[in-house]
Amino acid sequence: MKRLLRLFRWAIFLFFATSLLATLYYKWQPVQVTPLMLIRYVQQIADGKHPKLEHRWVPLDSIAPHLPVAVIASEDQNFMKHNGFDVNAIADAVAEQKRGGRKRGASTISQQTAKNVFLWPHADWVRKGLEAYFTVLIELLWSKERIMEVYLNSIEMAEGVYGAAAVAETNFSCTPLELRRADCALIAATLPNPLKYNSARPNSYMRSRQRWIQQQMKHIPAFRNAR
d(CA 72, CA 53): 25
- Beta carbons of 181 and 67 less than 8 angstroms apart: no
SS3 84: coil
- Beta carbons of 107 and 127 less than 8 angstroms apart: no
Query: Within 59-162, where are the H helices?
Result: 66-75, 87-98, 109-118, 125-141, 144-154
Predicted pLDDT of residue 219: 93
pLDDT tens sequence across 79-121? 999 999 988 877 666 555 555 555 445 799 999 999 999 998 8
pLDDT tens sequence across 34-52? 999 999 999 999 999 999 9
Question: Where are the chain's structural domains?
Answer: 29-225
Q: How many residues in the chain?
A: 227
pLDDT exceeds 90 at position 189 = yes
- Beta carbons of 186 and 202 less than 8 angstroms apart: yes
pLDDT exceeds 90 at position 214 = yes
Which among 63-67, 92-96, 191-195 has the top mean pLDDT? Answer: 63-67
Architecture of domain 29-225: Orthogonal Bundle (1.10)
- Beta carbons of 110 and 132 less than 8 angstroms apart: no
Please compute, for residue 65, the number of CA atoms within 13 A of its CA located in the half-sphere on the CB side.
Answer: 7
d(CA 199, CA 191): 10
- Please report, as a single letter, which amino acid is at residue 186: L
Backbone angles phi, psi at 167, to 5 degrees: -70, -35
Confidence band, pLDDT 50/70/90 cuts, at residue 227:
very low
pLDDT exceeds 50 at position 184 = yes
Task: Give me the chain's average pLDDT, please.
Answer: 91
pLDDT tens sequence across 24-36? 999 999 999 999 9
